[in-house]
A and B are shown apart, each in its own frame.
Chain A
Amino acid sequence: GAGVSQSPSNKVTEKGKDVELRCDPISGHTALYWYRQSLGQGLEFLIYFQGNSAPDKSGLPSDRFSAERTGGSVSTLTIQRTQQEDSAVYLCASRPRTGSGNTIYFGEGSWLTVV
């Protein structure tokens, strides 16, 4: 597609349920990032993929959070046993391989509300 695609765009879930958020990066982009943005706050780094591997997952807030990337393309962020403090916008971004430009492109985000 033309840009980074995320789904769902909006998700309301009950506390304790699991959720999966999907990111489809720009075709050919090898680097993929997940960030979390709480209302009115900055961009909190969660995890970074280079290809299918995750050299840095230091930003994942707890073991309830996990992410995977398959085929060097689509990534899924999974939040288990959701808590109200997980409510935020989850932004995915992708970036071309080294030497082809450094611009990071963001998706529209998945707005998660835990009630």
Chain B
Amino acid sequence: GENVEQHPSTLSVQEGDSAVIKCTYSDSASNYFPWYKQELGKRPQLIIDIRSNVGEKKDQRIAVTLNKTAKHFSLHITETQPEDSAVYFCAASKGSGGYQKVTFGTGTKLQVIP
């Protein structure tokens, strides 16, 4: 089955700096890679996703890159703000076909220091 590894487990950055979180996956058939943000005591919420036919996607201060050959993808947050502090989860899934199990990474706790 799919295995997703996520690094680092914790990350502290100064406000205004950039943050990068990296994930690798094992199943080359995975073709959908979402990122979720979970604030303390809240549900995980989708912040950005990328499909395997795209190498990069950007949404304001957030961007995700995907390297299918190396089977890794990364989340980039620029100009970090204190409200970016949360736990971030990457995930890998097969987005079509009958079997759609979603496998999550172990999470990265991001702390943005004002």
Contacts and interface: CB of A to CB of B under 8 A. Distances in A.
Interface of A: 31, 33, 35, 41-43, 45, 48, 50, 55-56, 58, 91, 93, 95, 98-99, 102-109
B98 A108 contact: no
Interface in B93-114: 93, 95-107
A42 B23 CA distance: 14
Interface size range on B against A? 20 to 34
Contacts, number: 62
A45 B49 contact: no
A103 B46 contact: yes
Contact of A31 (B45, B46, B100, B105): B100
Closest 5 CB pairs of A and B: A42-B106, A43-B104, A106-B43, A102-B95, A42-B107
Interface of B: 1, 32, 34, 36, 42-46, 49, 51, 89, 91, 93, 95-107
Given A43-B44, A106-B45, A107-B43, A98 B102 contact: no
B4 to A, nearest CB: 10
A72 to B, nearest CB: 15
Contacts of B96: 98-99
B104 A98 contact: no
Contacts of B98: 50, 55
Contacts of B99: 50, 55-56
B105 A91 contact: no
